[in-house]
Amino acid sequence: MRGVFARASSKGLAVLAAGALVLSACSSSGGKEAEKAAEGDGPRLEVAMVTHSAPGDTFWDIVQKGAKAAAAKDNVEFLYSADPDGGKQAQLVQAAIDKKVDGIIVTLAKPDAMKDVLARAAAADIPVVSINSGQEESAELGAVAHFGQDESIAGEAAGAQLSEVGAKKALCVIHEQGNVGLEARCDGARKTFDGELENLFVQGANMPDVKSSITAKLQSDKSIDGILTLGAPFAATAAAVKKEVGSDARIGTFDLNKDLIGFIKSGAIEFAVDQQPYLQGYQAVEAVWLLKRNGNVLGGGRPVLTGPAIVTRDNAAELEQFADRGTR
C-alpha cells in the first residue's frame, strides 16, 4: 500500500510487531500444541483496561474491539473502564488492583496522576502494559511494554502532509488540555510544517463548543488555510465549519473511523494519521497473556510502534471494508 507507513526515523524506538503476535503462523499441529503448552491448565486470566477516553469517542471503540478479539482467542476475561480526568482514572486503576486482576492496561495521557497507583500495582505484583499515550513515561512508571505510535514522529508526519496539501497558516486543535500526547503531536507538526501553526484549545467533551471555537477562529482570521485536528470526530466538525463559513482551509486529522473514510474519499478531508488502535488493544491483551502464560515480554524494553500510517484519497478505498466493520 503506497505511503501507508511513515518512517520512524528520529528516535530508534521502532520495534514494529510485524507478525510477532500471530501465533497461528506456526504449523497447524505444532502451533496448536505450542499454544496449548504455553496456556497450561491455569485459571482464566482477568485483564482490566483503564483509559482516559471520554464518552462518544469512536477511537476507543476500535481499541476495545482489538482487545476483545485477543481476549476471546486467549480465553481472557476483559474488563473496560475509562475517565478523562486523571484522578478518576487512577481511582479506576485502584479498583482493578483491589479486584486482584492478572494484568492492567492503562493510558498515560496524564502520567503524573497515575504515578502512585501504578506503584501500588507493582507492589501487588500486577503487570502493567501502557497503550496509546505516555510512551516516554511508560517504563519509568513500571509498565512492562508500551503499544502505540510515537506522537512526536506522528506529528512530524502530519506537519509534512499539511505542507504537501498547500497550507500556509494552520490551526492545531487540541481537544484535551494537559494531554501530553496531543501536545506532542502539535509540537511535532510544527517542526515539519513549512508555514505557521497555532494551537487552538477546545473543550473536546462538548462538540458544540468545539464547533463554535473553530468557527470563531476562521471568521476572525481569513488567512487560516489549514486545520489539523487530533481525533476523527473533531475533523468531521471542522469540515462542517469549513462549509458553513465558506473557508478554503485544508483539513487533516489523526485517527480514522467509518465516516472519516468517506470524507477523505470525497476530498472534504485531505488526510488522516492512523495509529491503528485495533492493534493497540489487541497487542496489549496479548502481551499480558504471553507474560503470564509463557514469561514473554514484547519490545525489549522499547515501545512497540503501531503507527503512524498516512491515509489519503489515494489509499482510503483500500481500508474502507475494515473501517466499515469498525476495526480501522
pLDDT tens, 257-296?
989 999 999 999 999 999 999 999 999 999 999 999 999 9
Q: Is the pLDDT of residue 19 over 60?
A: no
Which pLDDT score, from 0 to 100, does residue 6 have?
Answer: 37
Q: Which residues contact 163 (CB under 8 A, 6 or more apart)?
A: 192, 193, 194, 195
Q: Same fold for the domain at 23-149+276-307 and the one at 151-274? A: yes
Taking residues 6-23, report their average pLDDT: 38
Which pLDDT score, from 0 to 100, does residue 54 have?
Answer: 82
Which pLDDT score, from 0 to 100, does residue 297 have?
Answer: 95
Which pTM was predicted?
A: 0.81
pLDDT over 90 for what percent of the chain? 82
Q: Which of 7, 284, 310 is nearest to 164 (CA)?
A: 310
Which pLDDT score, from 0 to 100, does residue 26 have?
Answer: 38
**276: its cell numbers:** 491503528
Please state, in angstroms and rounded to a whole number, the distance separating the CA atoms of residues 322 and 290.
27
What is the band of 4 on the pLDDT scale with cuts at 50, 70, 90?
very low
Which pLDDT score, from 0 to 100, does residue 23 have?
Answer: 35
Taking residues 303-307, report their average pLDDT: 95
pLDDT over 70 for what percent of the chain? 87
- If you count them, how many residues does the chain have? 328
What is the band of 42 on the pLDDT scale with cuts at 50, 70, 90?
low
Q: At the fourth CATH level, which superfamily is domain 23-149+276-307?
A: Response regulator (3.40.50.2300)
Domain 151-274 falls under CATH 3.40.50.2300: yes
**115: its cell numbers:** 504515578
What is the band of 91 on the pLDDT scale with cuts at 50, 70, 90?
very high
Please state, in angstroms and rounded to a whole number, the distance separating the CA atoms of residues 132 and 114.
15
Q: Is the peptide bond before 308 cis (omega within 30 degrees of 0)?
A: yes
Domain boundaries, the chain: 23-149+276-307, 151-274
Taking residues 87-116, report their average pLDDT: 97
Taking residues 184-211, report their average pLDDT: 96
Segment among 31-35, 49-53, 176-180 with least mean pLDDT: 31-35
316 or 178, higher pLDDT: 316
205-251, pLDDT tens digit by residue?
899 999 999 999 999 999 999 999 999 999 999 999 999 999 999 99
Which pLDDT score, from 0 to 100, does residue 175 have?
Answer: 95
